[in-house]
Structure 1
Amino acid sequence: MKPTTTIREKYKQFLVILLPILITQITLSAITFFDTNMSGKSSSVDLAGVAIGSSLWIPVQVGLSGILMGLTPIVSQLIGNNQKNKVSYQVVQALWLSLILAVMVLILGGLVISPILDAMSLESNVRKIAHQFLLGISIGVIPLFGYMVLRSLIDALGETRTSMTITLMSLPINITLNYLLIFGKFGFPRLGGAGAGIASGITYWCIFFIAIWFVHRQQQFAVFGIFHKFYKISLKAWKELLKIGLPIGFSVFFETAVFAAVTLLMSQFNTATIAAHQAALNFATTLYMIPLSICMTLTILVGFEKGAGRTKDARQYALIGIGTAVALSLLTAVVLIFASRQVAFLYSDENHIIELIQHFLVYAIFFQISDAIATPTQGVLRGYKDVTPAFIIAFISFWVIGLPVGYLLATYTTLGADGYWIGLIAGLAIGAILLLRRLMYIQKRFKIVHDNLPQL
């Protein structure tokens, strides 16, 4: 990164950082997208089962991955302080921690998954697919967490294009395995939704080994000798990593867990409603990768400018990022209005499912517009290191407002499943307003502090 003077230079730098992050995030979400999409092509039962399984798995995945992402600022600081010789030690400690976390997930999952599924009163076929999907994906838990550590190292060194390349390589692997295992092609067994879980698990192993190859063989990473020396577990190193990573992990977990909660609560409705709801939510989640990537980009750029004391430039980047997110959300809203049936057809061939998906996609329009404001604003606040109030606002908007309002509307009115969407939209809209107010306060405070600094 470098200082910029004009809006054009800023937008160019914004795009240079954004595009690799966006491609990486979209590709990662596309694995879940194709699991859901291709399962839906098998049957609505497979779609519903994968929907339930994914809703239980994703919050755990992103929450624990967020903890491991705490390695990124640690490595960045070591590089900035010219302490490259300590990078290998920190990465190996993070890999040890990722292994322990993965084993804990496998043990706890084995103990609680069946009781959770039993408590949901699912149709027997849907429950069976959900359970088999989770068993299949569990084979990839250890390599997935290991990959998140290596990706944190790669991104900390500014090599986001490498992360993008590795992740892009995973997509055709996942699609091919889905095709073979879901539909039973070329002599493979037809496993339906369960095959999607196994395909994802194998894909995680593939990207882990690809990342190891890059880190071990490519010069920009090989100089650190990550795998050249064995290090014992250090609780002190883990404490440092967890101190940074836990707030990130819990923030992401609570934000994603609300959607899992809605899916679980939706189990009271029929299989067609569950399948259609999850399809619409899956598409909205794919669109969410745009504001999420802008969020990550703004954290980098605003933090860079704020650290250099250029408060005006930090504000300009915030406007560029949030403005771009809103503009893109309006564009996708137009696409959804005129192409909702085509989008729904991506998930199912059954007419009644397609019509239900189209119905829920109307709510997805309003949902992603609010997301386009709230998520990038969080990224700006993180750039200012103002993370706790933003987390509290996000928690309140989803868990204090969104979910309770949605439950009340779904349970005590004739809205049914629509009530959950309305509740989440209301919560997210209120959260977006509160986050913007917080951002204006923080920008004003830093401007006052900067203006009162002695001029050299």
Structure 2
Amino acid sequence: MFETSSKLEKLKLFAIVMWPILVTQVGLYMMNFIDTTMSGQAGAEDLAGVAIGSSLWVPILTGITGILLALTPILAQKIGAQKTEDISFYLMQGMTLALFISALVFIAGLLFLEPILAFMSLEENVAYIAKHYLIGLAVGMIPLFVYNVLRGFIDSLGQTKTNMFITLLALPVNALFNYLLIFGAFGFPELGGIGAGYATAITYWFIFIVTILVIHRVPPFSIYRVFREKIRISFGAWKEILLLGTPIGLTIFFETSIFSAVTLLMSQFSTEIIAAHQAAINFASLLYMVPISFAFTLTIAVGYEVGAKRMVDAKQYTNIGILLSIATGLIACVIIYVTRGPVATLYTNDPSVAYLIQQFLLYAIFFQLSDAINTPIQGVLRGYKDVNVPFIMALVSFWIIGLPLGYVLATYTQLGPYGYWVGLIAGLAVCATFLYVRLGIIQRRVAKIVYE
């Protein structure tokens, strides 16, 4: 990032920073997309098993990633304030914290995975696939969490193309090992959906190793001498990261876990409905990578300007990001409507499952715009380090309004499983409204403090 003097310069810089983030996000999500589509070609039970496994894993992954995202605004503001001597220290603390969190997640998996799957009363083979898919993913958990810390460091320097190139290198690795392990090609074991978990874990290790090498050897990252920092734990720094990151992580967790909770509640329906629901969510989530990329870019840009006490510039970046996100949200609505037929065939060869996927995708159209508003606003508020109130807003919107409404509609109306999607739409719309109001309050408050 660097200081700009006009809206046009800001638009150009915003685009330069964002498009590699978008490619990176899409690339990272494509691993899950490839897991799901290739598992679906192996059979409906494989698709359902991977769907259940993903529904348990994704909230944990995104929630912990959200905690570690605290480093991005911290580092962006340090760079904006020209306190570069603190960068290496905070980065090392982030990595040690990521290792500690990985250990906690591993222990939680040992204790709770079996009881959760038993509670869902799944078909035996679906539960088996879900369990062992998650075991495969766990092999790559540590490198994934530490990579997210390193990625925040790279992004905070505005060097977003680096993460993009690393992700693009990883995609063929992921596709290759999915093919080998799902279908048993070239003498590899035929694991079905379970193989997707191990393939993705291998890819996480690949990304981690490449990122380590880049930061260690390539300027401008190498000048910070990150891995030459003496390894020591600072609980004060952990506390600072957790105080900022925990609300971020919980906010993202509450938003993503409602989709997972719906998948778990849908275990009362048939394997075909579970598979179709997850396939539709999977495709809609691919398009969600656009607003979340706006959010990450806005956190960097706004954090940089706030650190330099240029509040007018921070507000201009905010307006640019939100307007562009809404425009792309409208385009996403059109894409879903037009391509829902061909998309369904990507996930399954079963005509009944394909029909259900298309029906779910029609509902997915309606929450694209809400995502296009609330997600970038969350990114802006993180740039201001305002995270506690958005966390409460997410909790109320998704778990007190959205999920109960969805349950009532799914259980007591003719909507059936589609009732849960109506609840999702309502929760997202309420959250978008809350966050928009909160943004105005924060902008006025910060401007008053700076200019007094």
Report TM bin, short chain.
over 0.9
Q: Deviation per CA, 1:54-103: give whole Å up to 9, x if none.
A: 11011111212222233334444555566655544433333222222212
Matches within 5 A, 1:57-136: 57-76=57-76, 79=79, 84=84, 86-136=86-136
Distance 1:100 1:46 in 2: 32
Deviations 1:396-438 (A, max 9, x none): 1111111000011111112110000001101211222222233
Alpha-carbon distance change, 272 to 210 in structure 1, aligned in 2, over 3 angstroms: same
Tell me, yes or no, if structure 1 residue 267 matches structure 2 residue 267: yes
CA distance in structure 1 between the aligned counterparts of 2:78 and 2:338, rounded to whole angstroms:
51
Greater mean alpha carbon deviation, residues 343-352 or residues 213-222? 213-222
How far apart, CA to CA, are the structure 2 residues paired with 1:6 and 1:400?
43
Structure 1 Cα separation of the partners of residues 228 and 41 of structure 2:
46
1:435 corresponds in structure 2 to 435
CA contact (8 A) 2:77 2:303 kept: no
How many Å separate the matches in 2 of 1:332 and 1:83? 40
Larger displacement relative to structure 2 (64-73 or 201-210) = 64-73
Residue pairs, 1:222-237, within 5 angstroms: 222-228=222-228, 230-237=230-237
**What is the distance in 1 between the residues matched to 2:95 and 2:297?**
26
Q: Is the 8 A contact 2:244 2:387 kept in 1?
A: no
Q: Which amino acid in 2 is paired with 1:140?
A: G
Once the two structures are overlaid, the 10-residue window that deviates more, 314-323 or 410-419, is: 314-323
The 1:265–1:227 alpha-carbon spacing in structure 2 relative to 1, beyond 3 Å, is same
Structure 1 letter corresponding to 2:265: L
Question: Which residue of structure 2 lines up, in the alignment, with residue 347 of structure 1?
Answer: 347
Q: Are 1:289 and 2:297 counterparts?
A: no
**AA partner of residue 151 (structure 1):** R
Counterpart in 2 of 1:420? 420
Q: How many aligned residue pairs are there?
A: 452
**1:160 corresponding residue in structure 2:** 160
- 3-state DSSP of counterpart to 2:189: coil
- The letter of the residue matching 2:180 is L
- Gaps in structure 1 of 5+ consecutive residues: none
Distance 1:70 1:319 in 2: 22
| Separation in structure 2 between the aligned mates of residue 405 and residue 304 of structure 1, nearest angstrom | 40
Q: What is aligned with 1:249?
A: 249
Task: State the 1:331 CA deviation.
Answer: 1.5
Greater CA drift, 44-53 or 338-347: 338-347
Task: Output the amino acid matched with 1:101.
Answer: I
Structure 1 residues 235 and 306: alpha-carbon distance in aligned structure 2, compared to 1, 3 A threshold: closer
Question: Equivalent residues in 2 for 1:364-375 (5 A)?
Answer: 364-375=364-375
Aligned residue in 2 for 1:396? 396
Query: How much does 1:196 deviate?
Result: 0.2
Residues in 2 aligned to 1:236 and 1:309: alpha-carbon distance in whole angstroms: 25
Question: Partners of 2:344 and 2:121 in 1: how far apart?
Answer: 27
SS at match of 1:227: helix
Opposite residue 62 of structure 2, the aligned amino acid is: V
Question: 1:50 aligns to what?
Answer: 50
Partner deviation per Cα, 1:180-218 (whole Å, 9 max, x = no partner): 111111111111100000101111111111111111211
Q: With structure 1 as the length reference, what TM-score do the two structures score?
A: 0.93
Q: 1:147 to 1:191 in 2, by over 3 A?
A: same
- For residues 76 and 116 of structure 1, do their structure 2 counterparts lie closer, same or farther at Cα, with a shift above 3 Å needed? same
Q: 1:221 to 1:8 in 2, by over 3 A?
A: closer
Aligned partners of 1:92, 1:309: CA distance in 2, in Å?
27
Aligned AA for 2:387?
A: V
String of CA shifts for 1:110-139, please: whole Å, max 9, x gaps.
121011000001011110110110111111
Unaligned 5+ segments in structure 2 are none
Q: 2 CA distance for matches of 1:32 and 1:62? A: 13
Deviations 1:285-329 (A, max 9, x none): 111111111122223333444555555544433332222112112
Where does residue 356 of structure 2 map in the other structure? 356
Distance 2:11 2:442 in 1: 23
Runs of 4+ displaced beyond 6 Å: none
Structure 1 244/229 Cα, relative in aligned 2: closer, same or farther at 3 Å? same
Greater CA drift, 186-195 or 69-78: 69-78
The 2-side partners of 1:84 and 1:380 are apart by 23
Paired residue secondary structure (2:139) = helix
Change (3 A) 1:391 1:34: same
Task: Give the letter aligned to residue 301 of structure 2.
Answer: L
Alignment of 1:28-47 (within 5 A): 28-47=28-47
Q: 1:377 to 1:173 in 2, by over 3 A?
A: same
Deviation at 1:6, TM superposition (A): 4.0
Shift of residue 336, structure 1, vs aligned partner: 1.9
CA distance in 1, matches of 2:158, 2:311: 23
Kept in 1, the 8 Å contact 2:67–2:248? The answer is yes
Deviation at 1:170, TM superposition (A): 1.4
CA distance in 2, matches of 1:394, 1:85: 35
User: 1:317 aligns to what?
Assistant: 317
Q: Could you tell me which residue of structure 1 aligns to residue 239 of structure 2?
A: 239
- Counterpart of 1:283, as a letter, is F
Percent sequence identity is 54
More displaced, 283-292 or 334-343?
334-343
Kept in 1, the 8 Å contact 2:81–2:308? The answer is no
> Is the CA contact (8 Å cut-off) linking 2:92 and 2:229 kept in structure 1?
no
* 2:408 is the counterpart of 1:408: yes
For 1:301, the aligned partner's letter is A
Give the SS at the match of 1:186. helix
Cα displacement string for residues 360-413 of structure 1 (whole angstroms, at most 9, x for unaligned residues): 000110011211111122223333443333222222111111100001111111
Q: Secondary structure at the match of 2:221?
A: helix
Match of 1:151 in 2: 151
**Contact 1:89/1:231 (8 A) holds in 2:** no
Closer, same or farther: CA 85–315 of 1 in aligned 2, 3 Å: closer
